[in-house]
């Protein structure tokens, strides 16, 4: 009995020590920040938690914003970046990664953060265009010469065609792919849900591999030579083309696709705690300026600014784009119907009785 | 010898302190994280819990995960023993180097292993193209899962068997031969019983590692629901949907099944080591 008491006591003491040490580290960090440059504005650091394919985009944007902010206020700002799968990044923020701003692939992931009270409800109305400063869409990447003659959605379910798309349960990009295909089928059948479901069901029967993420799917298609067509974000398809050589692949633009809106938001709880609200908001608003829009277009994201868009018109062929809320209401709804347990995606893979 | 240390004086001082430290350390690293699993899944009622587990997709994944892990462990017993045997009984140029390479699956990030294995075993890979010509699909099929799990489990069997093989006394084998045993009898009746506990330990370790393996498998399996989805992937899909409770429910089931299986293996090991000691 005595032994147990002692061990319990030592446990208590050590955990107490940790708590105190943790608090101490925090306060000393804040003191340092405050003491840095008493006269000029102290240098400030913010963290942008984003998803995988935006790494190069934000490297360019951050350098540009740093110069802009220095010129405007004389303050030096450092923007740290964190990249990973969109859902994983969302979870990291919920679990305590101190992001000042989040720039993720799906509003669903930011909704999840908002649900935990870190971001105020209605965040998507705070900035223009659904808080999405740039957009993209879902296109097809096919092998050079387009040997299977894939030009539009119906060609994907022709006999002998195999389609590569990641698993929508683990990949945000794959959810856009899924909704793009479903939206096309809805539009074609004048809103007949049964026909749309049948199209999606047939589509997945043509998918031999469900990678867990978008980059994995690209590798399967490009390096392993599996599949005739890869469903991909437009910016990722451009990047694959640029890096792997246009002599091997080509991009096919379908007649209809979805307007993919990767949204951005300030994490209220974090900026209020760290006192970085002003700069975090300025950072996100900067994404809408012509400079940033130009950078987005150079990284193959469709800019919102019509002026910039006109300059890059050759790069972004126009196609019939529908928005998420046109066919699916909002992300919560889309998720419930399509991707949640027992949803459409699960039904496709249930054993046929 | 007996008189030098009194029974109550252990070699390490401070039993109470060391026990306190042991319990604290184990709690921080193992017991508390595991009990969180139980707590989080306690949010579900038994019926809901059963619904999560009894889903056909989850059951299919359990079947694949455990059967592939058992198969991979069995393969490793056979080939790990052979590898360990060659390294301890024969000498050849480059032996040290090869011996060091055995540990690589420990050190390699499993995702790297998964990508390399997929490159080799897929339809246009070095080995995959010949297997495919014979009609055997390895990558993006259940067989690919077994290949990946065998890869990550190999060092466990080799490294547990090697020291036992090194300690075997030559005289015992010589005695067996002088008593008229054939080669096969010498191996089966004299050497194998002494190896069995180590083999079982290696099997248990390789099996446990294989059941929880994620990184290497997701690349080679193709992740097709109902056929090549493993349990850790299902847990990841639940987490990706912010379904913590569902994820921990599956994780808990996995933990319990693995624990039961490891317990059986340990019992077997205990029995066989007793037998080999007494016999």
Torsion on CA atoms B82, B88, B93, B97, rounded to nearest 10 = 80
Q: What is the pLDDT of residue A34?
A: 43
Q: Are B144 and B221 in contact (CB under 8 A)?
A: yes
Q: What is the pLDDT of residue B5?
A: 57
Cβ within 8 Å, pair A7-B57: no
Which sign does the torsion angle of CA B171, B174, B180, B183 carry?
positive
Contacts of B57 in chain A (CB under 8 A): 346, 349-350
Those residues of chain A whose CB sits closer than 8 Å to some CB in chain B are: 2-3, 6-7, 10-11, 14, 85, 87-88, 90-91, 94, 112, 167, 169-170, 208-212, 216, 219, 223-226, 335, 339-341, 346, 349-351
List the beta strands (DSSP E) in chain A: 44-50, 77-82, 101-103, 134-143, 163-164, 229-233, 249-252, 256-260, 264-266, 302-303, 320-322
> Which residue in A12, A118, A341, A342 has the most chain B C-beta atoms within 10 A of its own C-beta, making it the best mutation to test that interface?
A341
Cβ within 8 Å, pair A224-B124: yes
Q: What is the pLDDT of residue A42?
A: 84
d(CA B110, CA B128): 20
d(CA A260, CA A322): 9
Q: What is the pLDDT of residue A27?
A: 38
Q: What is the pLDDT of residue A1?
A: 38
* Cα B62 to the center of its chain, rounded Å: 16
Residues facing residue A78 across a β-bridge: A45
Using CA atoms, how far residue B178 sits from A50, B171, B181, B185, in Å, is: 73, 10, 7, 12
Q: What is the pLDDT of residue B124?
A: 85
Write out the DSSP string of A290-315. Answer: HHHHHHHHHTTPEES-HHHHHHTTTT
Low-confidence residues of chain B, pLDDT below 70? 1-10, 12-13, 276-279
Q: What is the pLDDT of residue B12?
A: 66
Measured in residues, chain B has a length of 279
Min Cα–Cα distance to chain B from A4, Å:
8
Q: What three-state secondary structure class fits A322?
A: strand
Nearest-CB residue to A3 (from B16, B27, B223): B16
Cβ within 8 Å, pair B24-A224: no
Structure tokens at B165: 């093989």
Torsion on CA atoms A298, A302, A307, A308, rounded to nearest 10 = -10
pTM of the model: 0.81
Nearest-CB residue to A170 (from B16, B21, B236): B236
Upper half-sphere CA count for residue A156 (Cβ side, 13 Å)? 32
Does any CB of chain A come closer than 8 Å to the CB of residue B56? yes
Structure tokens at B59: 């059951």
| Tens-level pLDDT at each residue, chain A (353 residues) | 344 444 454 544 545 445 444 443 443 334 444 444 445 678 899 999 999 889 999 999 999 999 999 999 999 999 999 998 888 999 999 989 999 999 999 999 999 999 999 999 999 999 999 999 999 999 999 999 999 999 999 999 999 999 999 999 988 889 999 999 999 999 999 999 999 999 999 999 999 999 988 888 988 898 888 999 999 999 999 988 888 878 899 999 999 999 999 999 999 999 999 999 999 999 999 999 999 999 999 999 999 999 999 999 999 988 999 999 999 999 999 999 999 888 999 999 887 64
d(CA B219, CA B223): 8
Q: Which residues in chain B (215-254) have CB-CB distances under 8 A to chain A? A: 218-219, 222-226, 233, 236-237, 239-243, 246
Provide ipTM, 2 decimals.
0.76
Q: What three-state secondary structure class fits B124?
A: coil
Q: Are B273 and B194 in contact (CB under 8 A)?
A: no
Nearest-CB residue to A7 (from B23, B118, B222): B23
Cβ within 8 Å, pair B20-A7: yes
Contacts of B14 in chain A (CB under 8 A): none
d(CA B223, CA B236): 12
Number of helices followed by number of strands (H, E) in chain A? 16, 11
* Cα B19 to the center of its chain, rounded Å: 29
Q: Give the gyration radius of chain B's Cα atoms.
A: 23
Q: Are B237 and A169 in contact (CB under 8 A)?
A: yes
Q: Are A335 and A346 in contact (CB under 8 A)?
A: no
Q: What is the pLDDT of residue A179?
A: 96
Phi-psi region of A227 (alpha: psi -120 to 50; beta: other; left: phi over 0): left
Q: Are B76 and B161 in contact (CB under 8 A)?
A: no
């Amino acid at each position: 009995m005595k032994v147990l008491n002692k061990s319990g006591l030592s446990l208590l003491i050590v955990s107490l020590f940790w708590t105190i040490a943790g608090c101490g580290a925090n306060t000393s960090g804040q003191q340092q920040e405050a003491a840095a440059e008493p006269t000029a504005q102290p240098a400030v650091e913010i963290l942008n938690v984003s998803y995988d394919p935006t790494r190069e985009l934000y490297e360019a944007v951050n350098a540009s914003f740093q110069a802009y902010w220095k010129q405007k206020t004389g303050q030096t700002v450092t923007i740290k970046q964190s990249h990973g799968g969109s859902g994983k990044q969302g979870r990291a923020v919920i679990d305590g990664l101190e992001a000042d701003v989040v720039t993720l692939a799906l509003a669903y992931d930011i909704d999840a953060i908002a649900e935990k009270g870190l971001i105020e409800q209605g965040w998507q109305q705070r900035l223009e265009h659904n808080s999405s400063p740039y957009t993209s869409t879902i296109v097809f990447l096919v092998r050079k010469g387009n040997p299977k003659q894939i030009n539009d959605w119906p060609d994907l379910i022709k006999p002998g065609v195999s389609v590569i798309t990641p698993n929508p349960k683990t990949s945000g990009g794959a959810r856009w792919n899924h909704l793009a295909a479903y939206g096309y089928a809805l539009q074609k059948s004048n809103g007949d849900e049964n026909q749309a479901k049948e199209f999606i069901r047939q589509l997945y029967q043509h998918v031999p591999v469900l990678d867990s993420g978008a980059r994995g799917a690209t590798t399967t298609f490009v390096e392993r030579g599996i599949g005739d067509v890869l469903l991909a974000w437009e910016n990722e398809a451009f990047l694959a083309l640029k890096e792997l050589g246009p002599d091997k692949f080509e991009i096919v633009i379908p007649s209809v696709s979805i307007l993919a809106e990767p949204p951005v938001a300030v994490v209220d709880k974090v900026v209020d705690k760290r006192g970085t609200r002003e700069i975090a908001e300025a950072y996100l608003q900067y994404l809408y300026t012509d400079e940033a829009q130009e950078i987005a277009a150079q990284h193959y994201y469709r800019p919102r600014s019509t002026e910039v868009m006109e300059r890059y018109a050759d790069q972004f062929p126009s196609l019939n784009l529908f928005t998420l809320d046109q066919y699916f209401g909002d992300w919560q709804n889309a998720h419930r119907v399509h991707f949640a347990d027992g949803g459409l995606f699960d039904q496709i893979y249930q054993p046929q009785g | 010898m007996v008189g030098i240390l009194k029974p109550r004086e252990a070699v390490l001082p401070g039993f109470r302190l060391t026990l306190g430290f042991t319990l604290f350390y184990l709690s921080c690293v193992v017991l508390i994280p595991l009990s969180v699993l139980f707590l989080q899944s306690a949010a579900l009622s038994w019926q809901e819990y059963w619904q999560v587990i009894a889903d056909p997709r989850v059951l299919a994944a359990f079947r694949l995960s455990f059967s592939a892990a058992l198969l991979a462990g069995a393969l490793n017993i056979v080939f790990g023993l052979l590898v360990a045997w060659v390294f301890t009984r024969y000498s050849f140029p480059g032996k040290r180097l090869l011996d060091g390479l055995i540990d690589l699956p420990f050190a390699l990030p499993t995702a790297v292993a998964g990508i390399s294995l997929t490159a080799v075993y897929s339809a246009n890979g070095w080995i995959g193209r010949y297997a495919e010509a014979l009609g055997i699909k390895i990558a993006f099929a259940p067989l690919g899962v077994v290949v990946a799990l065998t890869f990550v489990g190999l060092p466990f069997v080799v490294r547990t068997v090697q020291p036992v093989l090194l300690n075997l006394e030559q005289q015992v084998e010589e005695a067996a031969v002088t008593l008229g045993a054939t080669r096969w009898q010498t191996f089966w009746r004299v050497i194998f019983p002494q190896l069995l506990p180590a083999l079982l330990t290696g099997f248990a370790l390789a099996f446990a590692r294989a059941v929880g393996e994620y990184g290497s498998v997701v690349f080679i399996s193709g992740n097709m629901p109902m056929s090549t989805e493993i349990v850790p992937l299902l847990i990841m899909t639940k987490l990706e949907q912010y379904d913590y409770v569902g994820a921990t429910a599956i994780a808990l089931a996995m933990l319990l099944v693995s624990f039961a299986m490891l317990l059986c293996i340990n019992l077997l090991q205990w029995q066989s080591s007793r037998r080999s000691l007494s016999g």
